[in-house]
Amino acid sequence: MATQDELKQQAATQAAAMVQPDTVLGVGTGSTVAFFIDALGARNRQTPLNLQAIVTTSNRSRQQLEANGFTVSELAAVDHVDLCIDGADRVDHDLNGIKGGGGALTLEKNVAINATHNVWIVDQSKVVDRLGGFPLPVEVLPVSCEQNFRRFDQLALQPQYRLNEDGSRYVTHYGNYIIDLAVDPLPIPAGLAALLDQTVGVVEHGLFLNMTDEVLIATPEKIEHWTRQ
């Protein structure tokens, strides 16, 4: 029986084969994406892909891409992204997901929304009938974080500040905090997404609805390939 890491690697390797030469590539964050970056690096060393540009969503992925010989650009420096490959924390059968377990949700959503084609790579443990079972990250501005924390509490969303191992508050790439919400399961994802979108002081949230075009799901038997209808 394949381990979870072997399943992640299988999905990642298949995604690396989807990258077309001479294109602009977006690369996400996480352990599954880490397998993707290594697979892409190996492919590129064998036959150079001559990518126009690569943008990524975290310093971690940037360092790994650079270690694999790629030059990484800022999102603002490219005029389009052809394909974005990213992981996900949960995905439902409508190809909606929760992302941001690694705290990179704001840049992940910005790259995804600007990509012509989005592909998520996951192992079967990420698939759910209804979104939930994973803390929903909400990136908030420090200036109004306490007010928003109380608002989420009043809405019974069980807010928790994300913390570092030493107990200090986790600070995002953009100097903000993350409040994780307990949604298990989430009855109306679009309703909560709309509420968060309209909340002043919320920078971004981890509900990625109608955003991905394809999901590669590694199971012990095969890699399932879901596409948006």
Ligand X SMILES: O=C(CO)[C@H](O)[C@H](O)COP(=O)(O)O
List contacts with ligand X (CB under 6 A): 28-32, 86-89, 99-105, 108
222 is in an annotated binding site: no
Q: At its nearest, how many Å lie between ligand X and the CB of residue 182?
A: 17
Closest CA to 139 of 110, 113, 166, 104: 104
Complex with ligand X: residue 62 or 99, whichever CB lies closer: 99
Q: Is 108 a catalytic site residue?
A: yes
86 is in an annotated binding site: yes
Complex with ligand X: residue 156 or 175, whichever CB lies closer: 175
Residue with CB nearest ligand X?
30
Complex with ligand X: residue 82 or 139, whichever CB lies closer: 139
Q: Which residue of the set 6, 108, 204, 224 is catalytic?
A: 108
Catalytic residues: 108
> Which residues participate in the annotated binding site?
29-32, 86-89, 99-102, 126
> Which residues participate in the annotated binding site for substrate?
29-32, 86-89, 99-102, 126
